[in-house]
Structure 1
Amino acid sequence: MDPLITTPLPAESEADAKGSSLERMLRVLDLFTEADPIWAVDDMGATLGFTRSTIYRYVRELAEANLLFQVEAGRYSLGARIITWDRQLRVSDPLVRAAQALEADFPRWCEQQVWLICRLFKDRVVCIHQTGELFSEVSYSRGSPRPLFLGATSKAILANLTARQHNQLFLDNPADVYASGLGQTWEAFRASLQRLRRQGYVTSAGEVDPGVYGLAAPIFDGDGKVVGSISCVRPIEQRDEPQQPAQGEQILALAQQLSQLMVALAQRGKPLS
């Protein structure tokens, strides 16, 4: 029998009451990863530092909301509601819908290539749509969060953030800035981003996935705010230096089309027929 239902729940301690319940329950959901897809309730509590009564209450509420699913006694995985939400995003996100509508126009630069559509969520870049084939799986598969500082896909977004955002990111992430190759001082970092912004498209080789070359361009909303990027990743040996400027202009034009269609779809608010 499920201990979540049969075990009486003692009063929550003062330490357990710190922070909002929503924030703390989200921390429970964040435990579930590709590496650790199933968790025992007591292990969740120990990892998060929650009392036994608190973790049992949170897991019970999350299970009742179909956000967690009991795979066996006392052990849980993510629930059906998350799968439903993922499908909802796939069919309703105007950027995904725009990408699907324009897929036939994506250039075929080589046999092995993957097109990625990514969105910026706060300080993370997340792949929301992917099409094509590559010799190995790229780490930008749908749902994979990535940092802002590595790879053409992310740098195309980073370069188009505001000067204030650049300054805050530089102050908050010194190690990431150093590793990015964009400069070790504020002046050098700012100059690198200005250069990428003027160029429009961004390239990288082996920064995220070994042996992979990326070409990316930013996507903007109706107010001119960068919200994501489109990128094409290929084997490094398929990189064609003489063709890079022409391909850069192609991906910039494609990004502009995506931006315009995304805005139109968002305003319309209805699925494509």
Structure 2
Amino acid sequence: MSRSATSSSAPASPAPPAEEGEGQSRSIAAVERAMDVLLLFGRSGRPDLGVTEIATELGLTKAAVHRILTALRSRELIAVDAVTRRYALGHAAIALGRAYLSRMDLRALAAPELRRLAQQLGETATLSIRRGDTRLYVDQAVPPHELRVEVSLGIPYPLHAGSSSKVILAYLDEAEVDGLLARHPLEALTERTIVDDERLRRDLAAIRKRGYASSQGERQEGTASIAAPVFDHDGRVIAALSVAGPLVRFKSRMAECAPPLVESAARVSGQLGHGG
């Protein structure tokens, strides 16, 4: 005599309505497009962007870009200039960036190298980062000499004057360099500042060839410096390490101090995931 078998497995869950699944897909796509817009601001290197530029670079319609920017503005992730109608990162986006940097502080990574350079070479070692169309010193290590160079932290300087500025400029994309030079005429900070576009471009090519920049009184009279680039994991230049001293003392030592400087910058880049 046979007995009927009964199944102990739970019944299958009903499939979600098609409309619900489609709605979720559209929501995810909208979030992805908004993230693409934010990431474009982060990697463009330009201080602001227009609707047409965003639409062209991301392959979106202007109407879609307007909707995304409106949503991002409502959360202060994006800000708009009322006169030019161009967009830039807002307060909330900057706060996110600061939160990231607080966990992965470039200054903390570079500090041991700055101390090593100052001790080994007997001159001031500095760390500079790019900020828009400028760069600024964010840290330094000074030697015990009575006659030495000390820099002011947090003050923006143009990207064409001085070794730290030029080494960042040298490793930007050509289009970024073209745009920057179009926006900012080359102004003289000292009598030695390069103010001719073609001469500056030749200098940038030479910097890329040898791997570091040099300056003799181009940003500040009476000083000399060399600088090497720091790259992130994507190979983008984000900072510069430099060694600087009084012109009368450091001028003759610049070439011999370049190799340890370049090696220090490469170690910092490696910690940021740059493979060389």
More RCO (CA 8 Å, sep 6+) = 1
Aligned residue pair count: 184
Question: How far has the Cα of 1:130 moved from its partner?
Answer: 1.2
Instruction: Indicate the RMSD between aligned Cα atoms, in angstroms.
Output: 3.6
1:127 and 1:143 in contact (8 A); partners too: yes
Q: Secondary structure at the match of 1:129?
A: strand
Q: Secondary structure at the match of 1:127?
A: strand
Which 5+ residue runs of structure 1 have no aligned equivalent? 1-19, 26-84, 265-273
Equivalent residue, structure 1, for 2:265: 255
Q: Secondary structure at the match of 2:187?
A: helix
Q: Secondary structure at the match of 1:203?
A: strand
Percent of residue pairs bearing the same amino acid type: 23
Aligned letter for 1:257?
A: R
Which of 199, 203, 208 is the equivalent residue of 1:192? Answer: 203
CA 1:181–1:209: 2 relative to 1, 3 Å = closer
CA 1:164–1:90: 2 relative to 1, 3 Å = closer
Equivalent residue, structure 2, for 1:149: 160
Q: Distance in 2 between matches of 1:210 and 1:99?
A: 27
Which of 97, 102, 106 is the equivalent residue of 2:117? Answer: 106
Which of 114, 126, 136 is the equivalent residue of 1:116? Answer: 126
Question: Residue by residue, what CA displacement relative to the aligned partner does 1:10-40 show, whole Å, maximum 9, x if unpaired?
Answer: xxxxxxxxxx9979x9xxxxxxxxxxxxxxx
Q: Distance in 1 between matches of 2:222 and 2:124?
A: 14
CA 1:91–1:142: 2 relative to 1, 3 Å = farther
Question: How far has the Cα of 1:210 moved from its partner?
Answer: 2.2
The answer to whether structure 1 residue 214 and structure 2 residue 254 are counterparts is: no
CA 1:209–1:109: 2 relative to 1, 3 Å = farther
TM-score (norm 2): 0.56
Larger radius of gyration: 2
Question: How far has the Cα of 1:158 moved from its partner?
Answer: 0.9
Q: Secondary structure at the match of 1:207?
A: coil
Q: Distance in 2 between matches of 1:234 and 1:109?
A: 14
TM-score (norm 1): 0.56
Aligned letter for 1:145?
A: P
Q: Secondary structure at the match of 1:239?
A: helix
Equivalent residue, structure 2, for 1:245: 255
